[in-house]
Amino acid sequence: MENINEIDELVKLISKLPGLGPKSAKRIVLKLLNNRDELVKPLVKSLAEVYQNISRCNICGTLKSNSIDCSFSHCKIIEKKYNKICVVENISDQWSIESSNIFSGYFHILGGTISSVGQKKEDLLINSLVERVKKDDIEEVILATSATVEGQTTAYYIEDSLKGIEVQITKLAQGLPVGGEIESLDDGTLFSAFKNRTSLKNGSN
Ligand SMILES: [Zn+2]
C-alpha cells in the first residue's frame, strides 16, 4: 500500500484502542474505506456527538450526558435513593458489577489507582467521595478496587481519607484472585466477593 498520510494517521489512532495492534488497525481502516457511506459517515457523526455531549462527571466519575448536572446531595443520574456506595477503579468495573446484579446502590468511579503512571491523587475524585459520603447519608462504603498492589494501596488511602466519618467501610472478600481486576472476574467470583465482604472499620475512629 502506497503511504498516504491520512490513512497512516488513522491506522496509528485505531491501533491505540484496546486489543488492537497495527495489523488489525489496518484491516479496520480498509473495511471503513470500503464502506464510506455505511460506516465512515455515521461513525464521524457518532464520534462528534459523543465528544460534544458526553463527559465524565467530576463528582461521581461516571460518564454522563453534559445536560445532566450531578450534585453531592442529589445524584441526578440515579433517581433512586441508596445508602451504599461502591468504589471502583474504572467504568468497566461498574459495568461488570451492574451486569451481575449483586449490588444496588451508588457507584463512585475513581478513574484509576494511586500508583498508576501519572495519576495524581487529586484526579481520583477521593475528595468528592468523602463529600458524597457525608452529604448523601451513606451508611456503607464498599471498596471494590482490584486485588493488585495499586488497587490495595488505593483502598488503604481511601479508608484513611474517610477516618472520622460515621460510616461502615467494607472491602471485597479476599477470595479475589491476586492481581484480579474486577472487570475480568466472572459473576460467581464477584458474587461471593461481595457477599463475603469484610468490614474494615465501623463508625468514627
Ligand atoms: Zn455524578
Cα-flanking dihedrals φ and ψ of residue 118, to 5°?
75, 0
75 CA to centre of ligand 1 in angstroms:
6
Residue 70 clears pLDDT 90, i.e. is over it:
no
Neighbours of 182 (CB within 10 A): 25
Asked if 77 and 170 sit in the same domain, the reply is yes
Q: Is there a single domain that holds both residue 88 and residue 178?
A: yes
> Where is pLDDT greater, at 183 or 24?
24
- Other CB atoms within 10 A of residue 101 CB: 9
Same domain (yes/no): 148, 76: yes
Instruction: Indicate whether 157 pLDDT > 60.
Output: yes
End residue of a domain, out of 55, 75, 92: 55
Q: What is the CATH number of the domain that holds 27?
A: 1.10.8
Model confidence over 101-127: pLDDT tens digits? 889 899 999 998 887 656 677 778 999
Domain of 107: which CATH number?
A: 3.40.1360.10
Of the candidate ranges 126-130, 183-187, 191-195, the one whose mean pLDDT is the lowest: 183-187
For ligand 1, the distance from its centroid to the CA atom of residue 77, given in whole angstroms, is 7
Structural domain that includes position 19: 5-55
- The distance of Cα 90 from the centroid of its chain, to the nearest Å, equals 2
- Average pLDDT in the chain: 86
Q: Which residues surround ligand 1, an ion (CB under 5 A)?
A: 57, 59-60, 70
Number of domains in the chain: 2
The pLDDT-based confidence of 205 (bands split at 50, 70, 90) is very low
Is pLDDT larger for residue 183 or for residue 96?
A: 96
HSE-CB at 44 with a 13 A cutoff on CA atoms is: 9
* CA 5 to ligand 1 center in whole angstroms: 40
82 and 163 together in one domain: yes
Over range 188-195, report the average pLDDT.
83
Q: What is the pTM assigned to this prediction?
A: 0.77
CA of 17 to the centre of ligand 1 (A): 26
* 74 vs 84: CA distance, rounded Å: 14
Judge residue 95's burial from the number of C-beta atoms within 10 Å of its C-beta, 0-12 exposed, 13-18 middle, 19 or more buried: middle
Same domain, 30 and 119: no
Q: Which long-range contacts (CB under 8 A, 24 or more apart) does 147-152 make?
A: 147/176, 147/177, 147/178, 147/179, 147/180, 148/113, 148/178, 148/179, 148/180, 148/181, 149/115, 150/113, 150/114, 150/115, 150/116, 151/89, 151/113, 151/181
C-alpha cell at 199: 468490614
87 within 8 A of 161, measured Cβ to Cβ: no
pLDDT of res. 82: 87
The percentage of the chain sitting over the pLDDT mark of 90, rounded to a whole number, equals 45
Say whether pLDDT at 203 is over 60: no
Measured in Å, residue 14 CA sits from the centre of ligand 1 at 29
- Comparing 72 with 182, the larger pLDDT belongs to 182
Are 109 and 148 found together in one domain? yes
pLDDT band, residue 29 (cuts 50/70/90): very high
